[in-house]
Amino acid sequence: MTLRVNDLKVYYQTLRGDVHALDGVTFDLADGEIMGLAGESGCGKTTLGKSLIRLDSRMRHVGGTIDLDGKDVPIADDDAMVPLRYHEISLIPQYAMSALNPTRKIGRMINELLRSRGVRPADISQELTRRLELVGLDADVLNRFPIELSGGMKQRVVMVMATLLNPSLLIADEVTSALDVSTQRSVAESLVEFRDREYVKSMVFVTHDISLVYQMADTIMVMYAGRIAEKAPAKTIINAPRHPYTQMLISALPEVGSTMEQGRLEGIPGTPPGLLNPPTGCRFKDRCPMAFSKCSEQPPLLEIEPGHWAACWKTG
Amino acid sequence: MLELSHVHKVYRVGAFGGGRLRAVRDVSLTVEPGEVVSLIGESGSGKSTLGKMVLGLSRPTGGTITFDGTDITTIRGHAARKEYYRRVQGVFQDPFSCFNPIFKADRVFEMIRTSYFPGVSDADWRDRVLAALATVRLDPGNVLGKYPHQLSGGQLQRVLIARALLLDIKLLVADEIISMLDASTRIDVLNLLSDLKERGLGILFVTHDLSLGNYVSDKSVILRKGAVAEMGPTLRVFENPLHPYSRHLLSCVPQLHRTWAEVDAELAANPPEDVVLPVAADEESAPLLEVEEGHFVGIDQG
């Protein structure tokens, strides 16, 4: 088991009180598993991704533990996290386009990064060239400035950089959202290739695009308002979702080939609850067509069949 | 109603404007009342430039754009332009940046009133606002008197559409209006567009997302590097893509029930027939070839 997150709670501190962005998140990630993390904006998916590597100054670790390869990840202790970052846990940020230093050539930037992590660039340069070729980039990009590369090329450079030291866990946050469809496909396929070649052991792929995540992920976890709604193998989530939120989310997606005449799709009425003072009980109950009296209690996340977890009183 | 005929747009680029960038190349298309036309393309395909030219925010370098018989480039003067915007309005990608955070969101309605309907009485105006909000399926109690930060992206986007509806518009240019919205509210805005279509509104729907283009539109135009790659009735374009670029694009779209590997295997098993593409005589033109009725393919740009 690569990653085990147990009852993780991370709150944002604001002047008006704590925002309960992650409120008791529990899940496991197996070796070689690519997990897609999906949900609406504000559901806590990016917060979860960040909580696994670095809490920024507004985020406070309130409770819960993270285990990586059997060792505890001291997420609340920023200094103790330093040796883990990049070596064990790595992140591809949401806007890779702006993650590159515009005043440095790519090669120099990578060397600086490696030295700051105590690795001699010379030991790795061959591997670096090989991996650049793998994602379809010429080694010549190392002598270029970021401005000379297209969006897709920059994204691939950042991907190679983030995985250079073979981390156990890679967090990819909306890495393909800013790309065109054809570039999106090649970037997504390179990520799978990296997993197959064991450059990364397992991956959390944060996205709002469920149809993209279905193409590449082994499992999909759907979050709603700071909690997990459902986690299951990708095929199960798409074809046989059990949680009412997942069901409504999937049925609201237009597909290539579906038109208005063939059937009108319906969105989910209402908006997600604010997390400053989150409602008690199931957080989806106000928008849920199946809500009943029991929903005023918080439903536990239960394994309803092997590998399929859902938090709903109707599925348990 | 709207007719683009051999429209070109060349931007000057570089430090002294010495370079030339051809953003739109020889595009001709029409939008009829009650018709949704999707302009689909990747970044740099010229789709937004076309939208901007229709809205009069940028002038074509060649060709004509006519709306109800008048060439819109000949519209001069404040009053005439205002009349044009009474009938043609745009809604854009980012609803959050369309509002001034200092004022309440419904100020956009008030601004329409002061510039277009100064003579309308308060009660009458209120009825019109309520009717427009009802059309976009917003509850007036939830949006009137609220500040932009209190509303969600989907609500703001619908407020902007309601604002456009207060005018007597015939054509709506919708430039990537749902790409910033969540999956659960996206479909509501799309359904709204089709309701507006039923009322006889023509919509130019600019998008990079093929599945969205497919869902709402009657006619699809796939653009590449400024020129039309394929144009035709949406169903035909998506069921029987003729241009190699459209085929490639469609095979890259992530689908919900089929993986890329399955799509590729299917394509390899039944390779589509090649179509003879038209050849451009020079750098400027981009002829179209009619393969089926109303279904055109454009030039091959490598």
Domain boundary assignment for chain A: 1-88+204-256+266-309+312-316
Confidence of residue A5 (pLDDT cuts 50, 70, 90): very high
B238 touches chain A (CB under 8 A): yes
Q: What pLDDT does A142 receive?
A: 93
State chain A's mean pLDDT as an integer. 89
Inter-chain residue contact B235 with A259, CB threshold 8 Å: yes
CA distance B250 to B22: 25
CA distance A314 to A298: 12
Q: Is the CB of residue A308 less than 8 Å from the CB of residue A234?
A: no
Facing residue for B216 by CB, picked from A188, A210, A260: A260
Residue of A nearest to B260 (CA): A215
Provide the phi-psi class of A4: left if phi over 0, else alpha when psi is between -120 and 50, else beta: beta
Interface test with B, best of A174, A207, A260 (most B CBs within 10 A): A260
Query: Taking CB atoms and an 8 Å cutoff, what residues of chain A touch B259?
Result: 214-215
Please report, in angstroms and rounded to a whole number, the separation of the first and last CA atoms in chain B: 34
Confidence of residue A113 (pLDDT cuts 50, 70, 90): very high
Confidence of residue A257 (pLDDT cuts 50, 70, 90): low
The residues, any chain, with a CB within 8 Å of residue A16's CB and separated by 6 or more, are A276
B93 touches chain A (CB under 8 A): no
Helix B107-116 × helix B122-135 angle, to 10°: 120
Q: What is the mean pLDDT of residues B140-154?
A: 85
Please give the structure tokens belonging to residue A225.
Answer: 């308002």
Facing residue for B260 by CB, picked from A215, A255, A257: A215
B250 touches chain A (CB under 8 A): yes
User: What ipTM goes with this model?
Assistant: 0.78
Looking at chain B, the whole-number percentage of residues with pLDDT higher than 70 is 100
Q: What is the mean pLDDT of residues B76-96?
A: 89
CA distance B142 to A270: 11
Within the 205-234 window of chain B, which residues sit less than 8 Å (CB to CB) from chain A?
208, 210-212, 214-216, 234
Tell me which H or E stretch contains B78: helix B78-87
Within the 103-162 window of chain A, which residues sit less than 8 Å (CB to CB) from chain B?
151
Tell me which H or E stretch contains A181: helix A181-196
Q: What is the mean pLDDT of residues A243-259?
A: 83
The residues, any chain, with a CB within 8 Å of residue B75's CB and separated by 6 or more, are B56, B81, B84
Q: What pLDDT does B278 receive?
A: 85
Q: What pLDDT does A316 receive?
A: 65
Facing residue for A40 by CB, picked from B183, B214, B252: B183
Q: Is the CB of residue A151 less than 8 Å from the CB of residue B42?
A: no
Q: What pLDDT does B76 receive?
A: 86
B183 touches chain A (CB under 8 A): yes
Q: What pLDDT does A166 receive?
A: 93
Q: What pLDDT does B45 receive?
A: 87
Q: Over the stretch B186-239, which tens digit does the pLDDT of each residue have?
A: 888 888 888 889 889 999 999 888 877 788 889 999 999 889 999 999 888 888
Query: Taking CB atoms and an 8 Å cutoff, what residues of chain B touch A214?
Result: 254-256, 259
Q: What is the mean pLDDT of residues B140-156?
A: 86
Please give the structure tokens belonging to residue B41.
Answer: 């393309």
Which among A299, A255, A64, A202 is positioned nearest to B255, based on CA atoms? A255
Inter-chain residue contact A255 with B255, CB threshold 8 Å: yes
Q: What pLDDT does B112 receive?
A: 92
CA distance A296 to B240: 51
Q: Residue A234's CB: how many other CB atoms inside 10 A?
A: 20
Closest approach of B117 to chain A, Cα-based (Å): 33
Q: What pLDDT does A67 receive?
A: 93
Closest approach of B281 to chain A, Cα-based (Å): 29
CA distance B243 to B231: 10
Q: Is the CB of residue B149 less than 8 Å from the CB of residue B101?
A: yes
Q: Is the CB of residue A281 less than 8 Å from the CB of residue A297?
A: yes
Closest approach of B196 to chain A, Cα-based (Å): 13
Confidence of residue A253 (pLDDT cuts 50, 70, 90): confident
A271 touches chain B (CB under 8 A): yes
Residue of B nearest to A263 (CA): B215
Q: Is the CB of residue B251 less than 8 Å from the CB of residue A189?
A: no
Tell me which H or E stretch contains A123: helix A121-134
Q: Higher pLDDT residue, A94 or A105?
A: A105
Q: Over the stretch B25-35, which tens digit does the pLDDT of each residue have?
A: 999 999 999 99
Query: Taking CB atoms and an 8 Å cutoff, what residues of chain B touch A215?
Result: 254-255, 259-260
Amino acid identity of B20? R
Looking at chain A, the whole-number percentage of residues with pLDDT higher than 90 is 57
Q: Is the CB of residue B50 less than 8 Å from the CB of residue B4?
A: yes
Residue of B nearest to A215 (CA): B259
Q: Higher pLDDT residue, A51 or B210?
A: A51
CA distance A313 to A291: 9
Inter-chain residue contact B187 with A254, CB threshold 8 Å: yes
pLDDT at B165 over 80: yes
The residues, any chain, with a CB within 8 Å of residue A145's CB and separated by 6 or more, are A102, A104, A105, A106
A250 touches chain B (CB under 8 A): yes
Q: Is the CB of residue A28 less than 8 Å from the CB of residue A94?
A: no
Interface test with B, best of A193, A255, A258, A284 (most B CBs within 10 A): A255
B259 touches chain A (CB under 8 A): yes
State chain B's mean pLDDT as an integer. 88
pLDDT at A89 over 80: yes
Facing residue for B214 by CB, picked from A189, A256, A265: A256
Residues B243, B244, B246, B251, CA torsion sign: positive
Query: Taking CB atoms and an 8 Å cutoff, what residues of chain A touch B239?
Result: 257
CA distance B85 to B164: 9
Q: Over the stretch A126-160, which tens digit does the pLDDT of each residue have?
A: 999 999 998 888 889 999 999 888 888 888 899 99
Query: Taking CB atoms and an 8 Å cutoff, what residues of chain B touch A209?
Result: 254
The yes or no reply on domain A1-88+204-256+266-309+312-316 and CATH 3.40.50.300 is: yes
Q: What pLDDT does A37 receive?
A: 94
Question: What does residue B109 show for φ and ψ, rounded to 5 degrees?
Answer: -70, -40
CB–CB contacts below 8 A, A to B: 107
Judged by DSSP in three states, A114 sits in helix
Query: Taking CB atoms and an 8 Å cutoff, what residues of chain A touch B249?
Result: 181-182
Which among A29, A8, A11 is positioned nearest to A19, based on CA atoms? A11
Q: What is the mean pLDDT of residues A45-59?
A: 89
Q: What pLDDT does A298 receive?
A: 92
Closest approach of A98 to chain B, Cα-based (Å): 18
Q: What is the mean pLDDT of residues A16-22?
A: 89
**Extended strands (E) in chain A:** 3-14, 17-29, 34-38, 59-68, 71-72, 89-92, 169-173, 202-206, 219-224, 227-233, 302-305, 308-310
Confidence of residue B301 (pLDDT cuts 50, 70, 90): confident
The residues, any chain, with a CB within 8 Å of residue B186's CB and separated by 6 or more, are A252, A267, B154, B178, B212
pLDDT at B180 over 90: no
Query: Taking CB atoms and an 8 Å cutoff, what residues of chain A touch B215?
Result: 254, 258-260, 265
Closest approach of B122 to chain A, Cα-based (Å): 30
Q: What pLDDT does A64 receive?
A: 92
pLDDT at B167 over 80: yes
Confidence of residue A171 (pLDDT cuts 50, 70, 90): very high
CA distance A55 to A204: 17
Q: Cα A88–A93–A98 angle (5° rounding)? A: 135
Confidence of residue B152 (pLDDT cuts 50, 70, 90): confident
Q: What pLDDT does A274 receive?
A: 83
Inter-chain residue contact B238 with A257, CB threshold 8 Å: yes
